[in-house]
Structure 1
Amino acid sequence: MFSDDPADWIQYVKRQFRQTLGRLTRVITGTLDPHLARYPDDEWAQLATAQLTGVRATLAQLSK
């Protein structure tokens, strides 16, 4: 159960964002980057990387 203090809720949500950011970063660097290194003209991988990079930037800001 959460406390009644909104600061506790905010800290919890920030931790969740940081955790998601870490997972997303590993997908980008561990899967998509090597894919693009091998097949740089793959439109799907380019689109996925562009979209997820935007999400990554947003999560980085929200987790501060």
Structure 2
Amino acid sequence: QEVDFLRVGRIGLYYQTLDGTQSARWDVASKNWVNLPASDRNPVREAIRVARKLTAPNLLTLPLPTAGDAS
């Protein structure tokens, strides 16, 4: 399966399938990919577009691990 990866500094690593039907973030604690709900797919898609300079930078809301996830 082909995906686009997005790295946000040291705080987030994401992927999204090329057709946009699946997105996930890397969970450092479990060392595994965590699937994101459908509501988070569009923000990841937009962030990938900004990273590729296909659209102007804008404030993005991406899912991040919480303090409880890092334990």
TM-score normalised according to structure 2 size? 0.31
Which is higher, the Rg of structure 1 or of structure 2?
1
**Per residue, is there more strand in 1 or in 2?**
2
Name which structure has the greater RCO, CA cutoff 8 Å, separation 6+: 1
**Per residue, is there more helix in 1 or in 2?**
1
TM-score normalised according to structure 1 size? 0.33
